[in-house]
Structure 1
Amino acid sequence: MTHEHHHPPATTWAVAAGATLHCLTGCAIGEVLGMVIGTAAGLHNAATVALSVALAFVFGYGLTMRSVLRAGVDVRTALKVALAADTVSIAIMELLDNAFVLAVPGAMDAGLTSVLFWASLAGSLVVAFVLTTPVNRWMISRGRGHAVVHQYH
């Protein structure tokens, strides 16, 4: 399957927001799962954050690979596309959302039944989305980031 005739998507805020939302979906699944597992297991904050970051990358790459594999490419190519498309976006989101949760006093120790725990986690994802969207717009305008996935849609 060749894709050399496809053009990169227009670099609009809507395209950037869509790419960021796609990336945020995988990040949010991993982030929330990591925070829940780490908190429920009583892990140290550093271990909980590390687990959240690792799972965010796994789920972020996994969602991208799933959509690219549907285009009929092999797993190796899908992984390369996912790495190129999502690494910077996920890394920025994880830096931002974990910094946000860590900055909210008591959030990491609040427990799963606490409004503070869930509100800080939700707020962290909003901050990550808002601040990562301009980065994704910039990358897409240069044929990088989510732009590399466009040919497989």
Structure 2
Amino acid sequence: MTSAHEHTDHGMSAHAGHDMSGHHDMSGSALNSMAASATLHCLVGCAIGEIAGLIIGTAAGWSNLPTTVLSIALAFVFGFALSSLPLLKAGLGLGAALSVVVAADTLSIATMEIVDNLVMLVIPGAMNAGVVNAIFWISMAIALTVAFFAAYPVNRYLLRRGKGHALTHEYHSASKDAQGARRFIPDPPAPVLAAVIAAFMLGGLLVSAADDLGIGSGHPNATAVAPSRS
């Protein structure tokens, strides 16, 4: 006998498949909007992971290579985690949710990470700047902006073919009707997360600028004691 849960999963899968096929026929403006939203969502996860990795690597006094590897790994972890939240809220199990988001987001996140790290390598001093350094935060903002525009056409192409974030779109809608404990799974909109990340980066920049000026520090050249990533 087929369980109610299996019926639910089958219905959601069928509905998701129907939704994916509809992406082929959506208007250009709707496709552009969805691609921008998908790219922003991936960018937020990448930003959280990269900033966390760079802070950990800098605090530990690691060189560029292990710090970069950790940052990239955490970018994928946080990117997949954020994309999994609405799927878990919609009723999918952890394994099923991860399998969907890995298929949907891997190419987008990989594109962002390649471009982001190339930009950081190109900007003089960016890879060796400590987190209490204005160069770090300015370079990170530039790198993430370039990564967004690099990943946007990738997400648009995938959506037009019914792939990428098209695989998760229906679950985002279903998460609004979550029942029981799943109602408490957080699912903040990407623009809200992006605003939080932007505010955090601005705060980091302001703290770095204050440190450079010797404000609130016992020594005016506090950045010199920050662990180097060289």
Fold-level similarity (TM above 0.5): yes
Whether the aligned pair in 1 keeps the contact of 2:47 and 2:75 (CA below 8 Å) is yes
Q: What is the alpha-carbon distance in structure 1 between the residues aligned to residue 86 and residue 19 of structure 2?
A: 18
- Correspondence for 1:148: 167
Q: Flag the structure with larger Rg.
A: 2
Tell me whether 1:77 sits opposite 2:81 in the alignment: no
- Correspondence for 1:7: 19
Bigger helix fraction? 2
- Correspondence for 1:65: 84
Shift of 1:40: 2.1
**TM-score, normalized by length of structure 1?**
0.95
Cα RMSD for the two superposed structures: 1.2
Where in structure 2 are there 5+ consecutive unaligned residues? 1-7, 173-230
**2:60 aligned residue (19, 41, 53):** 41
Could you report, residue by residue, the CA deviation over 1:60-108 in whole angstroms, capped at 9, with x for unpaired residues? 0001111110000111110111101110011110111111111111111
Tell me whether 1:111 sits opposite 2:133 in the alignment: no
Whether the aligned pair in 1 keeps the contact of 2:159 and 2:166 (CA below 8 Å) is yes
The one-letter code matched in structure 2 to 1:56 is: A
Identity %: 52
**1:18 aligned residue (1, 19, 37):** 37
Q: What is the alpha-carbon distance in structure 2 between the residues aligned to residue 94 and residue 152 of structure 1?
A: 26
Shift of 1:39: 1.7
- Correspondence for 1:88: 107
Q: What is the alpha-carbon distance in structure 2 between the residues aligned to residue 92 and residue 16 of structure 1?
A: 14
Q: What is the alpha-carbon distance in structure 2 between the residues aligned to residue 58 and residue 33 of structure 1?
A: 11
Aligned length: 153
The one-letter code matched in structure 2 to 1:63 is: L
**TM-score, normalized by length of structure 2?**
0.64
Where in structure 1 are there 5+ consecutive unaligned residues? none
Shift of 1:114: 1.2
Whether the aligned pair in 1 keeps the contact of 2:31 and 2:159 (CA below 8 Å) is no
The one-letter code matched in structure 2 to 1:31 is: E
